[in-house]
Amino acid sequence: MADIIQLLPDVIANQIAAGEVIQRPASVVKELLENAVDAGGTNIQLIVKEAGKLLVQVVDDGCGMSETDARMSFERHATSKIKEAKDLFAIRTMGFRGEALASVASVAQVEMRTRRAIDELGTRIVIEGSELKTQEPCQSTVGTNIAVRNLFFNVPARRNFLRSNTVEMRHINDEFQRVALAHPSISFIFRHNNTEVYRLPSGNLRQRIVNLFGAATNKKLVPVNEDTELVRILGYIGKPEYAKKTRGEQYFLSIADLSKAGGCSTLWLGRLRIYCLKTAIHLSLFLLTLTLPVLILTCIRPSKKSSLMTIK
């Protein structure tokens, strides 16, 4: 009998990978915002049309990319963030799989303009369904402007599974809030269908929480700053009188500075449930940064939304 196993073409492999990484417009928002933060952007804009089904665009003033890197960034397993397996244990950024842009470009129409400060001209790239349509020099400000149009245009079954604009916007809002909350020093603007949803100036964490969740949040906040031998917890928690019966409030967790002393960058943004057993209420929790001791080994799942922790 003839051999029957064959390697899948890249386009199909990318689409399969995209199934893991890109589930809905909010996944695109998450990946693009994380890249903009990793690029050192200090002003980041998110522009969304039709709850991201028509357009998700992120504009940053970060480091930009060279012509070759711009093209490479859409290849699978292409990343500037790790070089060897051991780098995985010292990640200081929100990207490490080198899979996000390749996945996005396999299921959408993508246009990117990018320029580094040292380059006179930028690069414009258009990719649709993993197929390079255009790559040319262009006028561009320093940083990266990436527009993702018509998500799942080539995978109708997945497009049909997208929910109403209200539901998809809720997911997008959620992702935006998580990234904005974790980076109060970065200024963010978020527009949906030409209406401004958020304009967040650079500030401290309390100001960011209040700008995101409304002035009334201010009086709910209790600062938490616990530094014990075992663990360091930093952030704000809601007063018990504002706690809810349901898990309605926002819960954020970031694990920083896993084992290395020094630089304390946000590595992972996930959700944490803090449940007060005695009173059966859910306390609000606004960005707790947890600095874990060396003896705890953390394994971040590729989705970067959850992690496993074990004692070494």
**Residues found near ligand ATP in the complex (CB under 6 A):** 31, 35-36, 39, 60, 62-65, 73, 78-81, 95-102, 144
Tell me the number of residues near Mg ion by CB under 5 A: 3
Q: What is the closest distance, in whole angstroms, from the C-beta atom of residue 73 to ligand ATP in the complex?
A: 3
Q: What is the closest distance, in whole angstroms, from the C-beta atom of residue 70 to ligand ATP in the complex?
A: 8
Which of ligand ATP, Mg ion, none interacts with 99 (beta carbon under 5 to 8 A by kind)?
ligand ATP
Q: How many Cβ atoms are within 10 Å of 50's Cβ, its own excluded?
A: 14
Out of 41, 52, 62, 95, the residue judged to bind Mg ion by CB under 5 A = 95
Q: Are 264 and 257 in contact (CB under 8 A)?
A: yes
Token duo for residue 232 = 């360091």
Token duo for residue 46 = 């998110």
Which residue, among 172, 18, 182, 25, has the nearest Cα to 93 in the 3D structure? 182
> Concatenated DSSP letters for 42-86?
SEEEEEEEGGGTSEEEEEE-S----HHHHHHTTSTT--SS-SSGG
Distance CA 136, CA 100 (A): 22
Place of tokens 């940064």: 289
Q: Are 10 and 76 in contact (CB under 8 A)?
A: yes
Q: What are the CA-CA distances from residue 265 to residues 18, 55, 182, 308, 310 (Å)?
A: 27, 30, 10, 19, 21
Which of Mg ion, ligand ATP, none interacts with 221 (beta carbon under 5 to 8 A by kind)?
none
Q: What is the closest distance, in whole angstroms, from the C-beta atom of residue 116 to ligand ATP in the complex?
A: 9
Give the interface segment with Mg ion, choosing from 93-101, 103-111, 162-170, 292-300 (CB under 5 A): 93-101
290 lies in the binding site for Mg ion (CB under 5 A): no
Which of ligand ATP, Mg ion, none interacts with 182 (beta carbon under 5 to 8 A by kind)?
none
Q: What is the closest distance, in whole angstroms, from the C-beta atom of residue 116 to Mg ion in the complex?
A: 18
Q: How many Cβ atoms are within 10 Å of 56's Cβ, its own excluded?
A: 28
238 lies in the binding site for Mg ion (CB under 5 A): no
Out of 14, 27, 35, 217, the residue judged to bind Mg ion by CB under 5 A = 35
100 lies in the binding site for Mg ion (CB under 5 A): yes
Q: Pairing between strand 55-60 and 143-149?
A: antiparallel
Q: What is the closest distance, in whole angstroms, from the C-beta atom of residue 134 to Mg ion in the complex?
A: 23
x/- contact string, 50-89, with Mg ion (CB under 5 A)? ----------------------------------------
* Closest CB to ligand ATP: residue number: 95
If the CB atoms of residues 63 and 237 are measured against ligand ATP, the closer one turns out to be: 63
Which residue, among 103, 152, 104, 146, has the nearest Cα to 125 in the 3D structure? 146
Neighbour-count burial of 235, counting CB atoms closer than 10 A to its CB (0-12 exposed, 13-18 middle, 19+ buried): buried
If the CB atoms of residues 34 and 128 are measured against Mg ion, the closer one turns out to be: 34
Q: What is the closest distance, in whole angstroms, from the C-beta atom of residue 34 to ligand ATP in the complex?
A: 6
If the CB atoms of residues 78 and 292 are measured against ligand ATP, the closer one turns out to be: 78
Query: Within the chain, how many helices (H) and strands (E) appear?
Result: 7, 17
If the CB atoms of residues 137 and 223 are measured against ligand ATP, the closer one turns out to be: 137
Can you give the binding site for Mg ion, defined by CB under 5 A? 35, 95, 100
